[in-house]
Amino acid sequence: MTTPRREPPQLESTLRLKAFGLHLLGSLVALFVVDGIFDSITFTGVQPLLLAAVLLSFTNIFLKPLLLVATLPLTVMSAGLLLPVLNGLLLMFVAQLTPGFQVSGFWMAVLASLAVSLVGMLFAMATGQMRVRGVRVNRVPGTVIDVEAREKKDERE
């Protein structure tokens, strides 16, 4: 069995910084789009939007994994329905820390966090941070996207 090739430490830290920058930009775009969609989410200017994007990125990277582990039994018992609630609470937390960023209520924060997640996922797919499996895209103009699905064979046979 071959071990995966590791990048040199300097290149690895550069790649992590690039990934964080893309995550931050994705949060910024997602918050901007959500601000345009919902009237109950308001930013008073560009500075609160930038600060909220930075705080949201940091909470998603550092605080959210800890909260996921702490609430794992409840998340499993609720079949994952606790995750949007947790994301809404994190969005409300960021709104409390950011002057000039307001969310009208808890359920609006949950709905907005779902929209932020969706826009962030689309941004990650567009920038190559996330890949969709099973999709082949031919780069020749005029061709069609082809999706191929295969049934997994049982390894015991």
Residues in the chain, pLDDT under 50: 157
Q: For strands 146-147 and 135-136, give the pairing.
A: antiparallel
For the chain, give the mean pLDDT: 84
d(CA 19, CA 92): 25
CB 83 within 8 A of CB 110: no
For tokens 């090739």, name the residue. Answer: 5
pTM (predicted TM-score): 0.74
Q: 136: which residues sit within 8 A by CB, 6+ positions away?
A: 145, 146, 147, 148
d(CA 101, CA 94): 8
